[in-house]
Structure 1
Amino acid sequence: MQFGIFTVGDVTADPTTGRTPTEHERIKATVAIALKAEEVGLDVFATGEHHNPPFTPSSPTTLLGHIAARTERLILSTSTTLITTNDPVKIAEDYATLQHLADGRVDLMLGRGNTGPVYPWFGQDIRQGIPLAIENYALLHQLWREDVVDWKGRFRTPLQGFTATPRPLDGVPPFVWHGSIRSPEIAEQAAYYGDGFFANNIFWPKEHFQKLVDLYRTRYAHYGHGTPEQALVGLGGQVFLRRNSQDAVREFRPYFDNAPVYGHGPSLEEFTEQTPLTVGSPQEVIDKTLTFRESFGDYQRQLFLVDHAGLPLKTVLEQLDLLGEEVVPVLRKEFARNRPAGVPDAPTHASLLARRDATTLQEAR
């Protein structure tokens, strides 16, 4: 079971001081957060991709390449790479390069993106979001697995005798998660390829995401990749921790109430009841996170959002200390307890390489 954090990279005013960080400060803070994640023993750091204010992570591979040079163990991922508005050729090349720089500590989460204006900025039509996601990923999948590609589709110029460079490290492409909050077609796509499915269930009730995860598991088995229980599932979550719940609620309330995404809507209490958001003590975070397995089955990756809504860097680093020292060690032990033997771990470069070599050896016999 992998535990980590993800960021959307928002530049938001701190409602308690009225101060908005500069883009420079926010980018530097994101690096500090990633380094802290490794320091406290988390497994994964993931960044979103946005091309509009008030967000900074328009170049995830640049950010992750810098973090790769300053870390040794942390898996570097995205949360989301826009498969609809990025050229799959450029994705293939950029993330293979990052994979080499990070010695394999790379995977990525593909998604359509939900910011309408981004599509025309990159010459696309949001009404074609699903067909773009399907076609572009089919090409990306091929580019990483075939040395010479001939290809023709609807949304980009044809390729003839094309080789994406560099080739994936050790001939093993980065593992792909397909992220979705509402599209059964994306769950189907993940299942078809035997990839992972990431349900970023941070804003909606769990019942909505249970349907997507159940569909993915069923179709994963249908395509012959394993049993439904062996499908590769990741989940999102949000936390704000203090030693006791009263302090956590009191401190986080102004950030929640003024957050650009969910501020001025349901109350903090309503939101924590209906979604994965947990505001409280380490034990409360542990207790609620453990209920995710009841809803979604045994899964492989849990990412938490901890740095949004204008929270100052000092506060975010304190959150990571509590996660690393008091929450994640308990979650590791509890999620391992009674975990069926047939449920796989989250893929890593080493495990994918070992599986490839084992398959090659078996075929040679």
Structure 2
Amino acid sequence: MQFGIFTVGDVTVDPTTGRAPSEHERIKAMLAIAQKAEEVGLDVFATGEHHNPPFVPSSPTTMLGYIAARTENLILSTSTTLITTNDPVKIAEDFAMLQHVAEGRVDVMMGRGNTGPVYPWFGKDIRDGIDLAIENYALLRRLWDEDVVTWKGKFRTPLQSFTSTPRPLDGVAPFVWHGSIRSPEIAEQAAYYGDGFFHNHIFWPASHTKQMVNLYRQRYAHYGHGTPEQAIVGLGGQVFMRKNSQDAVREFRPYFDNAPVYGHGPSLEEFTSQTPLTVGSPQEVIERTLSFRDYVGDYQRQLFLMDHAGLPLKTVLEQLDLLGEEVVPVLRKEFANRRPANVPDAPTHAARVEAKRQEVTQA
């Protein structure tokens, strides 16, 4: 099972100091956080894509390329890439290039985004969101899988005998996750292609997550990719830890209360009881994370959101130390002990290259 972190790259006022970092400071902090993730033994770093304040990660492949040059083991991902407003040709080229730069340590998460105004900024209509996601991804798959593509669709100009360059590393495209919070159409799309399904799992109750993941698993089997248990599932999560749970709650409360995404609404106690947000000791994070398996089954990737809501870099790095030293080693062992033999490992480039080689050998 893979463990890692994802960032939304928000520039938020620290409520304890009244100061917000500059965009430059926030970007540099994200780079430091990624390198810390590798240092403490995590598997994945993922960045969102946003094109509006107060967020800074408008060019994920630029950031991930920099991180690739300064890490050796970390899988680099997005969380998410906007399949609706980005040109599929540019996605195909950018991520194939990143594959080569990072020696295959790359995958990508497709999503529609959660900011309505981004559509007209890129010449699109939000009412076409689902249709754009379906058409653009179908084209992207062809651009990666076929050396020469002739194509015509509804939302972009046709392609005639077009070759996307560079070609995917080792002839194997980046593994694709489809990220969604609420759209069953996206779970269906992931199942149709046999791709991974990532449920953000940070705002909604367990019953909703269970429903979405079960839909994906059932449809994955329906399309003939394997049993429901063999479907590739990832989950998000939010945690804040201190050695003592009371200290964690006391320190995190002002950040929660003022966070743009959930502040000024339910109390911290209400939110932690109704969603996967866990604020407490490392042991409480371990127990809560292990409980996710009870309603989604065995899964392959767990990413945590840890650098949001104005938390200072020093605090985030302390959180990563706790995650890497006290939480993830226990979770690795416990999830491995509980996983049945028929549940696949998390996908990696090396494993997928080997699977392709075996397919060719057996053909």
Task: Indicate the TM-score class for this superposition, using the shorter chain for normalisation.
Answer: over 0.9
**Helix, strand or coil for the counterpart of 1:292?**
helix
What residue in structure 1 maps to residue 266 of structure 2?
Answer: 266
AA matched with 2:328: V
**Separation in 2, partners of 1:350, 1:69:** 19
What residue in structure 2 maps to residue 82 of structure 1?
Answer: 82
**Separation in 2, partners of 1:293, 1:317:** 27
**Separation in 2, partners of 1:76, 1:27:** 16
What residue in structure 2 maps to residue 154 of structure 1?
Answer: 154
AA matched with 2:224: G
AA matched with 2:91: I
What residue in structure 2 maps to residue 11 of structure 1?
Answer: 11
User: 1:351 and 2:355 equivalent?
Assistant: no
**Helix, strand or coil for the counterpart of 2:236?**
strand
Q: 1:46-89 CA deviation, whole Å, 9 max, x = no partner?
A: 00000000000000000000000000000000000000000000
**Separation in 2, partners of 1:116, 1:227:** 36
Identity %: 83
Shift of 1:114: 1.3
What residue in structure 1 maps to residue 49 of structure 2?
Answer: 49
What residue in structure 2 maps to residue 280 of structure 1?
Answer: 280
What residue in structure 1 maps to residue 71 of structure 2?
Answer: 71
Structure 1: stretches of 5+ with no match in the other structure = none
Counterparts of 1:156-235 in structure 2 under 5 Å?
A: 156-235=156-235
**Separation in 1, partners of 2:338, 2:268:** 33
TM (norm. structure 1) is: 0.99
**Separation in 1, partners of 2:263, 2:148:** 50
AA matched with 2:361: L
**Separation in 1, partners of 2:30, 2:338:** 36
Structure 2: stretches of 5+ with no match in the other structure = none
**Separation in 1, partners of 2:219, 2:338:** 25
Worse-matched range after superposition: 28-37 or 331-340: 331-340
AA matched with 1:312: P
**Separation in 1, partners of 2:80, 2:273:** 26
Shift of 1:93: 0.1
**Helix, strand or coil for the counterpart of 1:337?**
helix
**Helix, strand or coil for the counterpart of 2:179?**
strand
**Separation in 2, partners of 1:136, 1:351:** 27
**Helix, strand or coil for the counterpart of 1:359?**
helix
**Separation in 1, partners of 2:352, 2:206:** 31
What residue in structure 2 maps to residue 39 of structure 1?
Answer: 39
Q: 1:214-265 CA deviation, whole Å, 9 max, x = no partner?
A: 0100000011100000000000000000001000000000000000010000
TM (norm. structure 2) is: 1.00
AA matched with 2:157: T
**Separation in 1, partners of 2:55, 2:294:** 34
Q: 1:113-168 CA deviation, whole Å, 9 max, x = no partner?
A: 11011000000000100000000000000000000000000000000000000000
AA matched with 1:130: I
Counterparts of 1:202-351 in structure 2 under 5 Å?
A: 202-351=202-351
**Separation in 1, partners of 2:338, 2:56:** 41
**Separation in 1, partners of 2:355, 2:222:** 21
AA matched with 1:238: Q
**Separation in 2, partners of 1:279, 1:36:** 21
**Separation in 2, partners of 1:113, 1:74:** 25
**Separation in 2, partners of 1:6, 1:183:** 20
AA matched with 1:266: P
**Separation in 2, partners of 1:335, 1:209:** 19
Between the two proteins, the alignment pairs up a number of residues equal to: 363
AA matched with 1:25: E
**Helix, strand or coil for the counterpart of 1:237?**
coil
**Separation in 2, partners of 1:116, 1:53:** 13
User: 1:128 and 2:128 equivalent?
Assistant: yes
Q: 1:25-50 CA deviation, whole Å, 9 max, x = no partner?
A: 00000000000000000000000000
Q: 1:197-221 CA deviation, whole Å, 9 max, x = no partner?
A: 0000101111112111101000000
Q: 1:284-328 CA deviation, whole Å, 9 max, x = no partner?
A: 000000000001000000000000000000000000000000000
Shift of 1:338: 2.6
Runs of 4+ in 1 over 3 A off after TM superposition: none
AA matched with 2:219: R
AA matched with 1:335: F
**Helix, strand or coil for the counterpart of 1:105?**
coil
**Separation in 2, partners of 1:337, 1:275:** 26
AA matched with 2:151: W
